[in-house]
Structure 1
Amino acid sequence: MKRTQQFFSLSQRALYALFLSLCISVSPVVAADASQAQSSIGSELEDIKSQVIQLNRDLFILEEDLLFPASTQIAVFVSVDVGRFFTLDSVELKINNQDVAGFLYTQRQRRALEKGGIQKLYMGNLKTGQHQLTAIFTGIDAEGRTIQRAVNHPFEKTDETIMVELKLEDSESSYRADISVEEWVL
């Protein structure tokens, strides 16, 4: 009985040694194949990643076209010229007496507008026909009083995209801020 146990233990050791030697001799080939497979998988992943990014861009464009078709689209922007007679605090936008947008400005956002920035305040859809845009600007005048400036702008929406800029401008002659409206049809 002891001899059989010794035989198996010797044969098991021999098999183990043979297995180790095979593994050691085959490992460089397996490692080379593994590195090639890994680089191949890496390049496939990069290709898939770039395809996903392109599909995401296409989906975003499609979503924009579906949500805001050019035939019904309107965009409203706000800009500020100088800002000595009126420090902008907030703006409220109404179209056809419906509240559509409002914005409360931080000091940083106000400075960006005063340096020439333009803010997209609203983007939406309207039917063709006559419409009324009302913008109410709230802020502080040169004496530190809270005041409001408002503008009503009637416009006609056609099948083209319309863009409206609400420009808050200092008036040197009246020492107060005025609002001008510029309209572009694309």
Structure 2
Amino acid sequence: MADKDPETMQQEMQSLKEKILQVNRDLFILEEDLLFPSSTQVNVFVSYDALEYFQLDGVSLKINDRPISNHLYTERELKAMNRGAVQRLFTGNLPVGEHELVAVVTGVGPEGRDYKRAVSMAFEKTSGTKYIELTIEGDDLRKQPGFRLKQWE
């Protein structure tokens, strides 16, 4: 077998790297499908647009009185969210039926005071993926932050 020139070997190496990356993506997708089947999957996201009235520190989530997620925000994450980013707080599985989601939000509110609020929502998990968003918005009329949970249709 003749020796291959370095350029041909480089092209083969690049081709192998691309194939490995594709296999890795495929495995990740399969793993997600196995761990979080769409029939039982629940996703919770947070969006933030209350910079004038509220500095977000963290969010804790509970479903059916069971803690499922805690997140403390970095300055970098807050900057991204102030530019319109939406963050996924939780992905998990729930059986079909009635459930309650509670989000506890902490931060610094108007006049530099510590601020802690809880918001809850009852929802029905049906077959298929469920998407819920915690929205943190400034209320210009009351000069306060507002918190609400909503389901995506």
Report the TM-score when normalising by structure 1: 0.75
- Specify the alignment match of 1:132 in structure 2: 100
- Counting only pairs closer than 5 Å after superposition, residues 18-167 of structure 1 correspond to structure 2 as 33-36=2-5, 41-167=9-135
Residues 1:83 and 1:43: Cα distance change in structure 2 (over 3 Å): closer
Structure 2 distance, partners of 1:111, 1:54, is 32
Richer in helix (by share): 1
Residues 1:101 and 1:40: Cα distance change in structure 2 (over 3 Å): same
Percent sequence identity over matched residues? Answer: 43
Q: Which amino acid aligns with 1:58?
A: D
Richer in strand (by share): 2
SS at match of 2:76: helix
Structure 1 distance, partners of 2:10, 2:51, is 55
1:70-127: per-residue Cα shift (whole Å, max 9, x none)? 0010111111113211111111111111110011112222222122111111111111
Q: Which has the larger radius of gyration?
A: 1
Alpha-carbon shift at residue 44 of structure 1 (Å)? 4.1
Alpha-carbon shift at residue 50 of structure 1 (Å)? 2.8
Contact 1:149 1:178 in 2 (8 A): no
Contact 1:86 1:139 in 2 (8 A): yes
Structure 2 distance, partners of 1:110, 1:71, is 32
Alpha-carbon shift at residue 46 of structure 1 (Å)? 3.7
Contact 1:92 1:102 in 2 (8 A): yes
Per chain length, whose mean CA-contact separation is higher, i.e. which structure has more relative contact order (CA < 8 Å, sep 6+)? 2
Structure 2 distance, partners of 1:181, 1:69, is 23
Root-mean-square deviation over aligned CA pairs = 2.0
SS at match of 1:178: strand
- Specify the alignment match of 2:136 in structure 1: 168
> Which sections of structure 2, spanning at least 5 residues, go unmatched?
none
Alpha-carbon shift at residue 68 of structure 1 (Å)? 0.6
